[in-house]
Amino acid sequence: MDNIVCGWISDVLYNNRIVGWLLDPSSTSPRDAVVEINGFAIDVLCNEKRHNPKNYKTHINNGFSVLIDEKVYAHLNSKNIIKLIDKSTNSEIAKSVIKIDLDSLKKQIFNDDSIFGEVKTESDSGVLEKKKVIGKLNSKFNNLKISGWLASTDADAKEPRKALLKFPNGMSFTVKTNKFRKDLVSKGINGNSGFVFDIPLDLIAQLPETFEVSLWDKKLNKLIDKVKYSNQPVFTPRNFDEYLKYSMVMPIAYAPFSENYKRCFAFMENVAARLANHNSSTLVSVIMPVYNREKVVRESIMSVLAQTYQNFELIIVDDGSTDNTVSVIESIKDNRIVLLKNRKNKGCSYSRNLAVSKSKGEYIFYLDSDNTWDNRYLKVMVGAFETLPKASALYCGQYLFKKNSDQCYAVRFASFNKSLLENRNYIDMNCFGHTRKSYDAIGGFDASLRRLVDYDLILRLANAFEIYSVPVILSNYYYDKADNTITSTEILHNLQSEKYQSFNLNKKPEEELKVSAVIPNHETIDDLEECINSLISAGCSEIIVVDNNSSEDCIRRLEILEKNKKIKLIKNNCNYGFTYAVNQGMHLADVNNDILLVNNDSVYTGNSIYAMKKAAYSLDNVGLIVPRQVLYEDNESITIHVPYANKKNKCDVNLSIRHFNIDSVPLFSNGKNVKLNFAPFFSVYIRRDIYSLVGDLDAEHGRHYRSDRIYCDVIRHLWRLNIFYVEDSVVYHKLQKSTAQLKSNKDEYEKIFVKNSWTSEEMEQEAFTKKHWEF
């Protein structure tokens, strides 16, 4: 090989760059070069990394790239002569001709419309094109999430970049790109550059059927990628049963509605017709607070007067309006209207409480002055109260409209789910009614609150009484129809404080609990100790920890707990996985006790075990009892299970769209004791007689996972027993702490968590056999 300067220059553009290399075989030092583009000279230093070089492989850092920017563009033609000149010898080393689509290139350069989906490698020279920032949006819009990645090509860049997602309505959101993606690493990109963005439901409501999202680098203010998405439902129920189940985790169905949804809505019309077929004459009170609504109040009043159920009183409270609202109301002549006037504005709570105090009806309903009812609303809702004698309150579905539009953009209805209600409100006062007795018991609206007084009242009623969902759609809700609308779903989280998520949590057990808790454990001790203490406080009479070969420090602390008689301890000399350990613990449990399977990172609230035991002995045909599984705020898993949830609040995920595990929901539901087809064995209560009947978990075919699925199917299909979710039992979950520990041991993680299998030696020892489907 001659020791002369040599080089190469590309004959095509790579992401708007001319690339090449220049080197002296006798030296690895970078050389200075000049790249001439149609005679326009650009100085370059040839010190960029060459990837996969075919020759001169010891000279890997002698590449270069020239960005086609606005200045270079001015010298381009459709056919361009490119020369590579060694600066020190002034010798032409290489020459090429590049054909360019000038219109396309111009759009990319001047309009920032370039799309950089991946890093490309030049095939002949092996020079990696360099761009300051690259990224891509995923083309699929799943589960109300948009995902993608954004990264710097600077190898020294450590901090994650901030992405800006822009939507067609002018709204934009800043997203931090710090999620790990293995596929990026394989392309030589920082793996911690991914992101997942949960689209707010309020934003979804404003988007058209097809919409475009653009990805920008916030710091550089550069467009990186853009994708068109279809604004379609996350899930479409195949029948009304599925609609009731799905509504418990996602109460909103967006237009345009599929045929499946239309069938469901049509059935709801039949429900309304059946409920309206009654002869009740119970007096109903309709409460309407109003403030400066002269343009819209007449329509709301007329929707009440048009009701087919005629035995009502409409009590309107003008809260110190300064426009012609009072005159509009007084112009409507009907002896069922009672108008009360506040001399000055005192707020919605005061006005509603005043109206209720003057009312005489047994059932109380509310209509705001900017919303309306179907003329069957009162007739159907009174029929529902007559049908459901245990109901202290009930609600129906709503059509959602934007301002004065006559076409709804969504339907909002959910079978009652108290845990979701405590996370995020889905019940509007305009489709809600309650008995006078329940109102008096909780003390009415909280006048100290300036916002979300409706939500507060509903939460307190839900805590004290039974609320039922009524699957009909007879209320019309208008967003921002009036200029001074105060209810805005963006501020819901301001009211969702701890006091609403802690009902009955500190209540102590009402009787001695003969329950043995079984906790499999691996390398978890701080969380485990908190779990053990919470079990003791909740009245658990026996706690058994089965440790799967943890470290000496972890074992030492467990032995102290054993010495202090807080736990019984089984120490395994290898990691047998979840299922085998659970079976070991159940074998050791007191034969007179029921069994509670417990995750080592769970926290039991005061009355949680008692509530499960009570359900286990009072419900029909019980197989398993599971509690709420409450994840702490800001957990990414929350919306995977519950799409409607607010991740900023704690959320129960045992009712899950991911598992689609709700087995059945009654037509009119109070949300209690929901039948499931599956529940992850995070916390499971098993009566002693059921364990004696059904036996152990299947460790042979599910070493670490799968055994919970198998056991649930055995319970339901072989023994014809039920799995019940009990919303009165609340258990917190820190989520997969042991799995995180297990990942640190690659071989163990692969065997136990990934393959979920036994070695040949282990199978022989346990008399297990490998099945043909295990590969």
- CB atoms < 10 A from the CB of 151, how many? 26
- Using one digit for the tens of pLDDT, what is the confidence trace for 331-351? 999 999 999 999 999 989 999
The pLDDT, as a whole number, for residue 737 is 56
Q: What is the pLDDT confidence band of residue 119, given thresholds at 50, 70 and 90?
A: very low
Query: What are the helix (H) ranges across 36-133?
Result: 70-73, 102-111
Phi/psi-derived region of residue 577, left when phi > 0, alpha when psi is between -120 and 50, beta in every other case? left
Q: What is the pLDDT confidence band of residue 112, given thresholds at 50, 70 and 90?
A: very low
Query: What are the helix (H) ranges across 578-661?
Result: 578-588, 608-618, 638-641
Q: What is the pLDDT confidence band of residue 746, given thresholds at 50, 70 and 90?
A: low
Cβ atoms of residues 426 and 413 within 8 Å = no
Two structure tokens written together for 609: 């075990």
Where do we find the tokens 């020190």? 88
For the cut 80, the answer to whether the pLDDT of residue 512 exceeds it is no
Residues 616, 614: Cα–Cα separation, whole Å = 5
The pLDDT, as a whole number, for residue 78 is 86
| Dihedral angle computed from the Cα positions of residues 630, 631, 633 and 639, in that order, rounded to the nearest 10 degrees | -100
Nearest to 467 by CA among 489, 441, 438, 440: 438
- Using one digit for the tens of pLDDT, what is the confidence trace for 410-445? 999 999 999 999 999 999 999 999 999 999 999 999
The helix/strand/coil state of 191 is: coil
The pLDDT, as a whole number, for residue 109 is 62
Residues 519, 547: Cα–Cα separation, whole Å = 8
Query: Which part of the chain is CATH 3.90.550.10?
Result: 240-500, 513-754
Average pLDDT over residues 743-760: 63
Cβ atoms of residues 470 and 398 within 8 Å = no
Nearest to 520 by CA among 418, 454, 596: 596
Average pLDDT over residues 135-142: 81
Instruction: Write the single-letter amino acid at 774.
Output: E
CA distances from 208 to 215, 390, 409, 546 (A): 19, 42, 10, 54
Query: Which part of the chain is CATH 2.60.40?
Result: 6-111, 133-230
Q: What is the pLDDT confidence band of residue 128, given thresholds at 50, 70 and 90?
A: very low
Whole-number percent of the chain with pLDDT over 90: 60
Q: What is the DSSP letter of 630?
A: E
- Using one digit for the tens of pLDDT, what is the confidence trace for 452-500? 899 999 999 999 999 999 999 999 999 865 443 334 343 344 444 444 5
The helix/strand/coil state of 223 is: strand
- Using one digit for the tens of pLDDT, what is the confidence trace for 352-403? 999 999 999 999 999 998 899 999 999 999 999 999 999 999 999 999 998 7
- Using one digit for the tens of pLDDT, what is the confidence trace for 240-282? 999 999 999 999 998 889 899 999 999 999 999 999 999 999 9
Write down the CATH superfamily of domain 513-754: Spore Coat Polysaccharide Biosynthesis Protein SpsA; Chain A (3.90.550.10)
Where do we find the tokens 């400066």? 292
45 compared with 504, residue with greater pLDDT: 45
Average pLDDT over residues 194-212: 76
Instruction: Write the single-letter amino acid at 528.
Output: L
Cβ atoms of residues 116 and 134 within 8 Å = yes
The helix/strand/coil state of 210 is: strand
- Using one digit for the tens of pLDDT, what is the confidence trace for 683-717? 999 999 999 999 999 988 887 788 999 999 999 99
Two structure tokens written together for 401: 């409209």
Query: CB-based burial of residue 542 (10 Å sphere; 0-12 exposed, 13-18 middle, 19+ buried)?
Result: buried
Query: What are the helix (H) ranges across 589-661?
Result: 608-618, 638-641
The pLDDT, as a whole number, for residue 131 is 52
- Using one digit for the tens of pLDDT, what is the confidence trace for 586-605? 999 999 999 999 999 999 99
Nearest to 383 by CA among 268, 265, 244, 274: 274
The pLDDT, as a whole number, for residue 755 is 62
Cβ atoms of residues 140 and 151 within 8 Å = no
CATH match for 133-230 among 3.40.50, 1.10.10, 2.60.40, 2.40.128: 2.60.40
| Dihedral angle computed from the Cα positions of residues 300, 301, 305 and 310, in that order, rounded to the nearest 10 degrees | 90
For the cut 80, the answer to whether the pLDDT of residue 204 exceeds it is no
Residues 483, 571: Cα–Cα separation, whole Å = 67
Please check whether the domain covering 6-111 is classified as CATH 3.40.50. no
Cβ atoms of residues 200 and 175 within 8 Å = no
The pLDDT, as a whole number, for residue 52 is 60
Query: CB-based burial of residue 254 (10 Å sphere; 0-12 exposed, 13-18 middle, 19+ buried)?
Result: buried
The pLDDT, as a whole number, for residue 416 is 98
Query: CB-based burial of residue 645 (10 Å sphere; 0-12 exposed, 13-18 middle, 19+ buried)?
Result: buried
Cross-strand bridge partners of residue 568: 544
For the cut 80, the answer to whether the pLDDT of residue 284 exceeds it is yes
Residues 742, 73: Cα–Cα separation, whole Å = 55
How does the average pLDDT of the chain come out, rounded?
A: 87
Q: What is the pLDDT confidence band of residue 406, given thresholds at 50, 70 and 90?
A: confident
Q: Are strands 17-23 and 6-9 parallel, antiparallel or unpaired?
A: antiparallel
Write down the CATH superfamily of domain 240-500: Spore Coat Polysaccharide Biosynthesis Protein SpsA; Chain A (3.90.550.10)
Query: CB-based burial of residue 622 (10 Å sphere; 0-12 exposed, 13-18 middle, 19+ buried)?
Result: buried
CA 20 vs. chain centroid, Å, equals 47
For the cut 60, the answer to whether the pLDDT of residue 738 exceeds it is no
Cross-strand bridge partners of residue 99: 79
Highest mean pLDDT among 43-52, 510-519, 527-536: 527-536
Upstream peptide bond of 256 is cis (omega within 30 degrees of 0): yes
For the cut 80, the answer to whether the pLDDT of residue 64 exceeds it is yes
Two structure tokens written together for 210: 């097809």
Residues 277, 527: Cα–Cα separation, whole Å = 56
Query: What are the helix (H) ranges across 360-431?
Result: 377-387, 418-423
Two structure tokens written together for 523: 């390398």
